[in-house]
Chains A and B, each alone.
Chain A
């Protein structure tokens, strides 16, 4: 066991130059992922959750990334691409939302997995194909030897997602970043894929970053949760705590606005007014203040001053609301 955490991200920021000005998609976030644990990153469109994962993987195009992201002690930010390529797939791998665009339509599923394997381990094509059949079997694809010879379009949605997970696992990485891996799937198939990820994590001690807009999925798989809004982290807590005792007004609003299967009948949904902020012209101070009931009640100047940082509000629980009086 090394003393380093598996993934340690510090003050990560991502900026995109656009015709209308610089978009600050991620404004300095911190998080840590340990082996065998799952960090859930939750947020709405434009919150910066996907950009964060791409920046860690070194897959951002045309963006300026600053800060630090260390995988098992190795710095990833600013590392030349050829060195990153040796880590990508081997030490860390990614699972995307849409398997049909992430997999190449022209090559068989088996060939694609074998190719990824040979990139890192070399060996014969035959040995790599055998490895591909093995991992396809591991992720619960029936008749893996036959399916390995098929093309992605011959797979159903759920099977394709399994194939992409197999591709990610082929080189036995330590970290998996899954960006909305079940969003395109039917709910019964989503349950299968989540079950699979959790089984693989247990068997291999994988660290997982699960990026999703679905709080139900977060509750199902995450040990730790990071809530993002307008490019910043607004709350970070153990999953249990986040759902039972949310501190940030945005997290609370999100939970209150969610229709739930276990709701009392006739319970009114309390919607958050307004829309998520524009990244081109973000509100001053706390990005959430124009929609925040606490700000509406106080008009506190601190909400519109500097962007509030995360502060510890309880054991292992951090929130970025200046109006939250820390009593602990």
Chain B
């Protein structure tokens, strides 16, 4: 990267002094498969991702499969070690800290997973599951018992659930257990990776409502990763749209949803079917051609150009940087919507 583009990136992303989480130029390149004579080139799953999360706010991270949103989420909590860039929590770089030095900080950022059953130990009771992070922090057994009781109540479960095992719960209840475990150490940030997409529609609203209430009561910040644009719109304050490992647009929720500046954001929003037949039939729809490309073999220039209805010659050659639009959002497009 040249000095000039570095400058441009700096201009676009001033460091926030009040940020809880600051992510700069985060990258993840998975090593390629070993061939007969040499290793295949690596896969750039995440490339140059930068954003801030303020205390108590929700940043929605949306995109289609393979866009790198889950990989990004895992790097935020150091479940994956990034190959480039930094993640700073309250100004402290946690990217290269050893796991041992990281441990006291770990209580401050937690994760909720998509499949509640896969992320709960089937041989532990709810009591044991929720107590585990407290025990790891060295709490006394009296404290643990009291905390666990409060936590199950907080997430809307009953005390008699404590002695049961995960398989005795429905998907929605199991997700509540996952949330209680994530909140046990009073984190300031929770990264939630598709927390409602495995749940029935009528249960999704319960979990989204619960997460919103917990944010109001505890002031916890969320990075909410999902492919469902309607859910993200509902829960987020700010939204970042990812495509093939990069953020193509980021801004306040209203700007991104009401006035999308990136052609991909616009197409993505127009592809979501509305539960309203009259509106559905009257709607102008941008149907993108083709599938999202593979990160193993990304297109040149702007990686969206082969599917973009507005692509010009420049888009095939030159990758656009995230720059501030006339409004508050940032967009990575040579010809943004105005």
A-to-B contact residues, CB < 8 Å = 44-45, 156-159, 186-192, 194-195, 213-220, 222, 239-240, 243-244, 253-255, 257-263, 265, 268-273, 275-276, 291
Bound form: Cα–Cα A220–B267 in Å? 16
A140 to B: closest C-beta gap in Å: 10
Asked if A156 meets B291 with Cβ closer than 8 Å, knowing A220-B280, A257-B204, A260-B275, the reply is: yes
0/1 interface trace, chain B 195-207, chain A, CB 8 Å (1 if under): 0000011111110
Enumerate the 5 nearest inter-chain pairs by beta-carbon distance, A residue then B residue, closest first.
A216-B273, A271-B205, A257-B205, A186-B64, A259-B234
A44:B200 contact, CB within 8 angstroms: yes
Complex: chain B residue closest to A271, CB-CB: B205
Taking the complex as formed, is B185 at the interface, i.e. its CB lies under 8 A from any CB of chain A?
no
**Residues of B with C-beta under 8 A to A268:** 209
Asked if A258 meets B257 with Cβ closer than 8 Å, knowing A187-B268, A269-B208, the reply is: no
A218:B275 contact, CB within 8 angstroms: yes
Partner of B285 from the list A159, A191, A244 (CB cut-off 8 Å) is A191
A-B contact pairs, 11 of them (CB 8 A): A44-B202, A187-B272, A188-B64, A190-B273, A192-B289, A217-B273, A220-B277, A261-B229, A265-B254, A271-B202, A271-B206
Residue among B230, B277, B288, B291 with the most chain A CB within 10 A? B277
B227:A257 contact, CB within 8 angstroms: no
A220:B273 contact, CB within 8 angstroms: yes
B177 to A: closest C-beta gap in Å: 14
0/1 interface trace, chain B 249-281, chain A, CB 8 Å (1 if under): 000001001000000000111111111111110
**Residues of A with C-beta under 8 A to B64:** 186-188
Complex: chain B residue closest to A155, CB-CB: B291
Asked if A257 meets B201 with Cβ closer than 8 Å, knowing A188-B64, A189-B291, the reply is: yes
**Residues of B with C-beta under 8 A to A269:** 205, 208-209, 234
Complex: chain B residue closest to A258, CB-CB: B275
Complex: chain B residue closest to A44, CB-CB: B200
A260:B202 contact, CB within 8 angstroms: no
Taking the complex as formed, is B137 at the interface, i.e. its CB lies under 8 A from any CB of chain A?
no
Taking the complex as formed, is B287 at the interface, i.e. its CB lies under 8 A from any CB of chain A?
yes
Number of B residues whose C-beta is below 8 Å from A? 45
B271:A187 contact, CB within 8 angstroms: yes
Within 8 A of A (CB), among B43-100: 64-65
**Residues of A with C-beta under 8 A to B170:** 275
Partner of A258 from the list B173, B230, B268, B271 (CB cut-off 8 Å) is B230
A186:B280 contact, CB within 8 angstroms: no
Bound form: Cα–Cα A48–B151 in Å? 35
Bound form: Cα–Cα A191–B57 in Å? 32
A188:B230 contact, CB within 8 angstroms: no
Asked if A191 meets B271 with Cβ closer than 8 Å, knowing A257-B202, A259-B231, A271-B205, the reply is: yes
Taking the complex as formed, is B172 at the interface, i.e. its CB lies under 8 A from any CB of chain A?
yes
0/1 interface trace, chain B 289-314, chain A, CB 8 Å (1 if under): 11110000000000000010000000
Taking the complex as formed, is B316 at the interface, i.e. its CB lies under 8 A from any CB of chain A?
no
Taking the complex as formed, is B149 at the interface, i.e. its CB lies under 8 A from any CB of chain A?
no
Partner of A259 from the list B200, B205, B279 (CB cut-off 8 Å) is B205
Complex: chain B residue closest to A220, CB-CB: B273
**Residues of B with C-beta under 8 A to A213:** 200-201
Bound form: Cα–Cα A134–B186 in Å? 60
Asked if A157 meets B274 with Cβ closer than 8 Å, knowing A186-B65, A219-B280, the reply is: no
A159:B291 contact, CB within 8 angstroms: yes
Asked if A254 meets B227 with Cβ closer than 8 Å, knowing A156-B291, A259-B208, the reply is: no
Bound form: Cα–Cα A215–B209 in Å? 20
Asked if A219 meets B275 with Cβ closer than 8 Å, knowing A259-B231, A261-B233, the reply is: yes
B277:A243 contact, CB within 8 angstroms: yes
**Residues of B with C-beta under 8 A to A45:** 200
Bound form: Cα–Cα A253–B291 in Å? 35
Extra 13 A-B pairs, beta carbons < 8 Å, given A157-B291, A239-B277, A260-B230: A186-B291, A188-B307, A216-B272, A216-B275, A219-B275, A219-B276, A244-B278, A257-B202, A258-B275, A259-B234, A263-B233, A265-B254, A276-B202
Bound form: Cα–Cα A159–B274 in Å? 24
B291:A243 contact, CB within 8 angstroms: no
0/1 interface trace, chain B 118-143, chain A, CB 8 Å (1 if under): 00000000000000000000000000
Bound form: Cα–Cα A244–B272 in Å? 19
Asked if A260 meets B65 with Cβ closer than 8 Å, knowing A156-B291, A189-B291, A275-B173, the reply is: no
Partner of A219 from the list B209, B274, B307 (CB cut-off 8 Å) is B274
Asked if A188 meets B269 with Cβ closer than 8 Å, knowing A216-B275, A259-B231, the reply is: no
Bound form: Cα–Cα A153–B277 in Å? 35
Bound form: Cα–Cα A263–B275 in Å? 11
A80 to B: closest C-beta gap in Å: 37
Partner of A187 from the list B201, B208, B229 (CB cut-off 8 Å) is B229
**Residues of B with C-beta under 8 A to A218:** 275
**Residues of B with C-beta under 8 A to A214:** 273
Bound form: Cα–Cα A254–B206 in Å? 12
B292:A259 contact, CB within 8 angstroms: no
Bound form: Cα–Cα A260–B234 in Å? 8
B288:A188 contact, CB within 8 angstroms: yes
Bound form: Cα–Cα A243–B281 in Å? 13
A186:B272 contact, CB within 8 angstroms: no
Bound form: Cα–Cα A69–B268 in Å? 39
B256 to A: closest C-beta gap in Å: 12
**Residues of A with C-beta under 8 A to B201:** 44, 213, 215, 254, 257-258
Complex: chain B residue closest to A278, CB-CB: B170
B209:A191 contact, CB within 8 angstroms: no
B277 to A: closest C-beta gap in Å: 5
Partner of A261 from the list B203, B204, B274, B285 (CB cut-off 8 Å) is B274
B287:A243 contact, CB within 8 angstroms: no
**Residues of B with C-beta under 8 A to A276:** 200, 202
B205:A190 contact, CB within 8 angstroms: no
Bound form: Cα–Cα A259–B291 in Å? 26
**Residues of A with C-beta under 8 A to B289:** 192
